[in-house]
Amino acid sequence: MAVAPKLRQPYLRVPSAANGKLRVLVVDDEIAFGKVMREVLELFGMEVRLAFGAAQALEQMRRETPDLLMVDIMMPEVDGLSLIRRVQKESVWLGIPIIVVSARASKADQHEALFAGADAFLAKPFTADELRQALRPFLPAGTSL
Residues 63-113 pLDDT 10s: 999 999 999 999 999 999 999 999 999 989 988 999 999 999 999 999 999
pLDDT for 10: 42
pLDDT for 11: 47
- Please check whether residue 52 is in contact with residue 74, taking contact to mean a CB–CB distance below 8 angstroms: no
**What is the distance in angstroms between the CA of the first residue and the CA of the last residue of the chain?**
18
Identify which of 82, 85, 80, 60 has the alpha carbon closest to the alpha carbon of residue 70: 80
Task: List the CATH code of the domain at 2-6+22-138.
Answer: 3.40.50.2300
pLDDT exceeds 60 at position 8: no
Residues 12-45 pLDDT 10s: 455 565 567 899 999 999 999 999 999 999 999 9
Give residue limits of the domains in the chain. Answer: 2-6+22-138
Ranges of beta strands (E only) in 19-138 are 23-27, 47-51, 68-71, 98-102, 120-123
pTM: 0.87
- Please check whether residue 113 is in contact with residue 2, taking contact to mean a CB–CB distance below 8 angstroms: no
Quote the Cα angle for 79-86-19, to 5°.
Answer: 95
